[in-house]
Amino acid sequence: MEKSFFKISHQTSKGWLSITKFAVIFTLILSVYTGLASGVDQQSELKGKVTDDSNFSLPGVTVLVKGTANGTVTNTNGDFVLKSLKEGDVLVFSFIGMLTQELTFTGQSEISIVLNTDTKNLDEVVVTALGIQRDKKTLTYSSQQVTGDEMMKARDINFMSGLSGKTAGLEIKKSVSGAGGSTKTVLRGNHSLSQSSDPLYVIDGIPMVNRKGNQSGMWGGTDEGDGLSQINPDDIESISILKGANAAILYGSQGANGVVIINTKKGKEGQTTVNFNSSAIFENITKTPDLQFTYGSEGGTKESWSYTKGNYDSDYVDDFFQTGYNLVNSLSVSGGNDKTTAYFSFGNTSAAGVIPNNEYSKNNVSFQQSTKLFNDKVKVSSNVMLVSEKAKNRNTAGYYLNPLTGLYFFPRDRDFSDYKENYQYFDDERNMYLQNWFVDDHHQSNPYWLLNKQPKEDITKRVIASMTVDYDITDHLKFKVRGSYDYANKSYEQKFYAGGNGTNVSSTGRWSYKKFTDEQLYTDGIFTYENKFGDFSLSGVLGASYQKGTFGNGVSVDNGTNNLLYPNEFNFQNLPSNVQVQSIYAGQIIKEGVFSNVQMGFKDMLFLDLSGRNDWSSTLSGTGNESYFYPSVGLSGIVTEMMDLPDFLTFWKLRTSYSTVANEVPFNVVNPMHTINSGGGVDRNTQQPFENLKPEMIRSFEIGTDMRLFDGRAGLDFTYYNINSQDQFITLPAPSGSGYTYYYINAGEVVNKGIEITLNGSIIQNKDFSWNTTVNFSNNHNEIVELVPEFADKQISYGSSEGYTTYIVAGGSFGDLYGYKFKRNDAGQIMLDEESGAPLKTAEKEYLGNLEPDFSLGWNNSFDYKRFALSFLINAKIGGDVFSQTEAMLDGYGVSQRSADARDNGGVAINAIQGTTPVTSIDPQLYYTSVGDRNGIAEAYVYDRTNIRLGQLALSYDLNVQDLGLPIKAASFSLVGQNLFFIYKDAPFDPELTMSTDLNSQSLDNFNVPATRTYGFNLKVTF
């Protein structure tokens, strides 16, 4: 622990020095650049308070001296201080959802302002596809918005994890790889049998690259993170979720699975504002598996089935894990005048995981500016984001080369400290260090050998640069052109020192290294038109886009089990002649598109929305299907504008929409290329060319309603959707003699249908106390309607081991779990082998359940009392099943508490039959070595996925900075926590953690890192 806190102090001091330098230098630059340091008369100061028409304090109200850059923002109590005023200045008070108010300054020292609710505009302006802002009440589809402050209450490194439970229909799973790991995100179910169902991520209207690296699996491996983890969460102003293809059609095939729009912070008119945010979050595991420490090994065996008289320390499992930490310091500077605004930020992240030697660091720099030219008719904006990310020894999962297998399997009759303190010994004969472990077992190694002698590191350098030019041609017609360049240089390296477990490692060691680049160029040009003609309104969008992405372009090498020339020398010069450095290439994809949208309104109560897009994709070149068009139509009506309704019903909208959109087409499918292998030879392509390939087509329908009651104090958002995906990419075995192993066809049909409900309410609103609550509910039903009609028994496997498989079959669903069951007679009794007495299993794998929940629920609450704020989030997944290979293996090795209890009780209670003899008890070792282990009876290790947890808890206090006499505008201190405890859970592991964030191995546990809880504090100061 002392070592951990020394690291924290050391890293924090370095971060503070860097931040201080940036603060001083950039504040000076920005002050000069934006002309904020003007010699304004400072003869008067005004203190004030802003409340709403219910006498409730309003935080975040903009107070600006009209025609100048002099301004401020109210704190959480609605208080503000404005300096450098002179009589006659006009003060403008503005806030979203409230009527803007102006007041002339006459020399008074204190004022109180009441802002009234804008009842004619209860729906806020939201960011939609292509970054276009629209009044939410005109939308014909479902969308949700989450503010950056709400998202980051728990201070998670990957901001998407902070959205869990806060958006209906959004399913998020977090990787077990630790800090900087990737997330699995799905909107409205899995749509594609072969392509990712992840949504498109967009930063300020421009698509971003979110390629995932390798993933963990049953046989080991490591999640190498994704692009989302590289974003600085403190730069995010808000998140907009466009849930379906109806909302995202203007993004084309990329938006087929929905869109997550990231709106970043921008410079604002007014005085220079400096924000400093510092958080220290600590992490502990919640629970290790239930292990026994009574029975050990006999005669040097690897299993623990014999009673042990040893009295060794049984805390070595808990002692193996450490307290992790996540330290984040960020600084931002913002300011501007009526012509130019600018925003700069720097963020530093330093983290360590709960497993020793797992470290993560990240530095973010962002700069954004916007300048108005030519009488404000032209606005030029630019944005640059720089990222440097490094991860050491990301957590792994699976059987092999995983420190947790040796930790858990270690026999109880031995002293673990001997192997912890001396994980290696020097072998004079080989002149090298060897692993010190009690047995040669491919399943396990000395945990500390793996941590120290198989180090891995990945480094990412990334830049995202964009520029936008807006031109107001007329008051109604505007044109925008923008371009962006997203470039990432990535390297991954792992060293396997000789002398350890020989699984997949040569006798002289193994070196795995790759380095490659991802880059994407994007540009678009968009005309927008908006006008009113009496009772009619008309808005339109017409544009074109071009996108070119080149991914995974680099080199890799891995000698595998081929001996290095000299032991434990990891470099290119030490590779054997039969191992070559390979060129790697994940492909280049070019997409061109034209798109249009027209929305017609009548009396601000009826809206018709028509959209269309045509794409040309390089992945379909040569098929005749390169060009494909898809339309969308939507209709919404404001019922409260059409007829007289009770006064309590403030707003009521009905909406419906239908769209057709194509899903992404994979690279290198039409005419696959041969490749060069690591030995320098040519690997011949084994896939038959797919020259009539066409894209998957998704037809999406939704209908819903939005309601606001009691002047917006309560709200309901309900949506029903039906999504039909056809023409999937399915592989079939090639005919004998064709010269190919397999070929693709367009076939299959997948349907997702479900409901989403969001309820929100301001339960209590008064001067000193308020309570706001939101409930998000979603239910999705997935069905594989059809695969290949000509092959009725066709199955597609997504993740498997000896005892189980997740199959997709016609009539089934994504996440269907198959495995061996107990073989039973007609009376339901388990059948035992007539000779050994061991439980028998079915001849084939059978259906065990489905991994997806029946429905998801999030309940978010916030309470404000004077300067205190308390919030908590309850997350729930109800229904579904999960499977634990960990529990099966622990039973097979005899180290589970369950197996010890059975031995203490004299046997395992069972309703079985051996031949014709009923059996009610069976020997524990015979039972668990038959049922458990790798290829046992999976039925015994399937659990209910249902879990209810306290997902987030935050308590904050806003300091009364005005009484301190310091140049501080606002300051707050928060205590935060995430996943603090489970209210209910059946599974012996956290079902919402995943070893892989691709289609495979969802809700499956194979020596995953245990679930963790996080807790800590956050300090925010505004200067």
Question: CATH classification of 42-115 is 2.60.40.1120, yes or no?
Answer: yes
Q: Which helix (H) or strand (E) is 633 found in, with range?
A: strand 627-638
- Which pTM does this prediction carry? 0.85
Residue 791 has pLDDT above 90, yes or no: no
Residue 690 has pLDDT above 50, yes or no: yes
CB atoms near residue 35 (< 10 Å): 13
pLDDT digits (tens, 9 = 90+) for 133-181: 777 888 888 888 888 888 887 777 778 888 888 889 888 888 777 777 8
The pLDDT score that the predictor gives to residue 54 is: 67
Residue 189 has pLDDT above 70, yes or no: yes
Read off the pLDDT of each residue in 197-219 and give the average, rounded to a whole number: 82
Helix (H, G, I), strand (E, B) or coil at 718: strand
The pLDDT score that the predictor gives to residue 583 is: 86
pLDDT digits (tens, 9 = 90+) for 333-358: 999 988 999 999 999 999 999 999 99
Q: Are 774 and 716 in contact (CB under 8 A)?
A: no
pLDDT digits (tens, 9 = 90+) for 637-673: 999 999 999 989 999 999 999 999 988 788 888 888 7
For 1018, the token pair is: 């956050």
Q: Which residues are CB-contacts of 646 (< 8 A; sequence separation ≥ 6)? A: none
Q: Are 831 and 950 in contact (CB under 8 A)?
A: no
Read off the pLDDT of each residue in 685-707 and give the average, rounded to a whole number: 89
Q: What is the residue extent of each domain of the chain?
A: 42-115, 125-531+545-902+921-992+1004-1022
Q: What share of the chain is helix, strand, coil (3-state, %, to 5)?
A: 15, 50, 40
For 266, the token pair is: 């921008």
pLDDT > 90: what percent of the chain? 53
Average model confidence (pLDDT) across the chain: 87
Read off the pLDDT of each residue in 99-120 and give the average, rounded to a whole number: 83
Is residue 679 very low, low, confident or very high in pLDDT (cuts 50, 70, 90)? low
Helix (H, G, I), strand (E, B) or coil at 248: helix
* Cα–Cα distance measured from residue 953 to residue 860, given in angstroms and rounded to the nearest whole number: 10
The pLDDT score that the predictor gives to residue 359 is: 94
Read off the pLDDT of each residue in 762-786 and give the average, rounded to a whole number: 92
Residue 699 has pLDDT above 90, yes or no: yes
Spatial strand order of the sheet with 79-85 comes to 79-85, 44-52, 110-115
**R_g of the chain computed on alpha carbons:** 31
The pLDDT score that the predictor gives to residue 501 is: 82
Read off the pLDDT of each residue in 70-95 and give the average, rounded to a whole number: 84
Longest dimension (CA), the chain: 103
Read off the pLDDT of each residue in 691-708 and give the average, rounded to a whole number: 91
Alpha helix locations (H) across 582-676?
A: 639-642
**φ, ψ for residue 334, nearest 5 deg:** -140, 145
The pLDDT score that the predictor gives to residue 161 is: 82
Is residue 753 very low, low, confident or very high in pLDDT (cuts 50, 70, 90)? very high
* Cα–Cα distance measured from residue 297 to residue 304, given in angstroms and rounded to the nearest whole number: 4
Read off the pLDDT of each residue in 282-305 and give the average, rounded to a whole number: 89
Residue 18 has pLDDT above 60, yes or no: no
Is residue 868 very low, low, confident or very high in pLDDT (cuts 50, 70, 90)? very high
Residue 219 has pLDDT above 80, yes or no: no
Residue 723 has pLDDT above 60, yes or no: yes
Is residue 1 very low, low, confident or very high in pLDDT (cuts 50, 70, 90)? very low
pLDDT digits (tens, 9 = 90+) for 349-401: 999 999 999 999 999 999 999 999 999 999 999 999 999 999 999 988 888 88
The pLDDT score that the predictor gives to residue 119 is: 55
Residue 260 has pLDDT above 70, yes or no: yes
Third-level CATH fold of 125-531+545-902+921-992+1004-1022: Maltoporin; Chain A (2.40.170)
Read off the pLDDT of each residue in 493-516 and give the average, rounded to a whole number: 90
pLDDT digits (tens, 9 = 90+) for 582-613: 888 888 999 999 999 999 999 999 999 999 99
pLDDT digits (tens, 9 = 90+) for 967-1015: 888 899 999 999 999 999 999 999 988 877 766 667 788 899 999 999 9
Place of tokens 């005919």: 735
The pLDDT score that the predictor gives to residue 4 is: 39
Least confident of 143-157, 508-522, 537-551: 143-157
Read off the pLDDT of each residue in 829-838 and give the average, rounded to a whole number: 94
Q: Which of 1017, 927, 947 lies closest to 989 in space, CA to CA?
A: 947
Higher local confidence (pLDDT), 177 or 430: 430
Is residue 779 very low, low, confident or very high in pLDDT (cuts 50, 70, 90)? very high
Q: Which amino acid is present at 104? A: T
The pLDDT score that the predictor gives to residue 767 is: 79
Q: Which helix (H) or strand (E) is 264 found in, with range?
A: strand 259-264
> Which phi-psi region, left, alpha or beta, contains residue 727 (left: φ > 0; alpha: ψ -120 to 50)?
left
Higher local confidence (pLDDT), 258 or 179: 258
Residue 432 has pLDDT above 60, yes or no: yes
DSSP string of 45-82, one letter each residue: EEEEEEEETTS-B-TT-EEEETTSS-EEE--TTSEEEE
Residue 906 has pLDDT above 90, yes or no: yes
Read off the pLDDT of each residue in 678-704 and give the average, rounded to a whole number: 83
* Cα–Cα distance measured from residue 516 to residue 210, given in angstroms and rounded to the nearest whole number: 15
The pLDDT score that the predictor gives to residue 758 is: 95
Residue 544 has pLDDT above 60, yes or no: yes
